[in-house]
C-alpha cells in the first residue's frame, strides 16, 4: 500500500506534518482502530469479546503495524524527495533572478560602452 504526502504547488515548500498527524493519516487508511483516537475506545468496544475474537484481532493488529511501517517509510521517502526538489528549485530560482539582474546590468554597460565608442 502506497500512501504519499500531498504534492505541494510548484516551487512551494512541502508541508511537514507532526508525528501524530502523520501516524493518523497513514494508520487511518490501514486500521482505523489503531489511530490515536481509535485506541482510546478499544476497551469499551471489545468488552464481550471471545478468546477467538481476541486472537483474530491480535493478528489483525500485528499485520496493521507491519503494513504501517512499510507505508511510513514510503511516505517519508517521498517527503524527503519533495524537500530536495524544493531545495533545488529555490536555489535555482534565486540564481536565475540574480543572473537576470546581472545580465540586464551588464547589457546596459555593454550598450553604453559601445554607443560611446
Partner 1 sequence: MSFIEVPNGQDPLLKIEKTEATASEQKAEEKDTKKPEQKEMKEQLRKPKEELHQGARNGVEQRIAAHNVRLTALQNQKDRHDTDVATLKRRADEKKEHLKDTDLAADLVTDTATAMQAPEGKTKPGPVEIPEGEDRQETKQEQMLAKGVDQTKAPEKNVNPEIAQAQVAALEQADVRTEQNTEVADTKAAQKTESADSARGVGTNQAGGQIA
Q: Which residues contribute to the site for partner 1 (CB under 8 A)?
A: 13-14, 16-20, 22-23, 27, 34-36, 39, 42-43, 46, 48-51, 54, 57-58, 61, 65, 68, 72, 76, 79-80, 83, 86-87, 90-91, 94, 97-98, 101, 105, 108-109, 111-113, 115-116
Nearer to partner 1, 2 or 18 (CB): 18
| Shortest distance, position 91 Cβ to partner 1, whole Å | 7
How many CA atoms within 13 Å lie on the side-chain side of 63? 9
| Shortest distance, position 37 Cβ to partner 1, whole Å | 10
Nearest Cα to Cα of residue 2 among 66, 73, 52: 73
- Please state, in angstroms and as integers, the Cα–Cα distance from residue 31 to each residue in 19, 63, 71, 92, 115, following that order: 17, 10, 12, 42, 74
Amino acid at each position: 500500500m502506497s500512501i504519499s504526502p500531498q504534492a505541494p504547488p510548484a516551487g512551494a515548500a512541502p508541508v511537514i506534518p507532526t508525528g501524530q498527524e502523520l501516524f493518523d493519516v497513514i494508520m487511518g487508511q490501514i486500521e482505523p482502530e489503531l489511530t490515536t483516537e481509535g485506541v482510546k475506545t478499544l476497551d469499551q468496544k471489545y468488552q464481550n469479546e471471545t478468546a477467538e475474537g481476541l486472537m483474530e484481532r491480535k493478528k489483525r493488529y500485528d499485520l496493521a503495524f507491519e503494513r504501517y511501517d512499510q507505508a511510513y517509510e514510503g511516505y517519508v521517502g517521498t517527503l524527503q524527495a519533495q524537500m530536495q526538489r524544493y531545495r533545488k528549485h529555490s536555489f535555482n530560482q534565486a540564481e536565475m533572478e540574480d543572473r537576470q539582474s546581472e545580465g540586464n546590468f551588464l547589457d546596459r554597460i555593454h550598450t553604453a560602452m559601445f554607443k560611446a565608442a
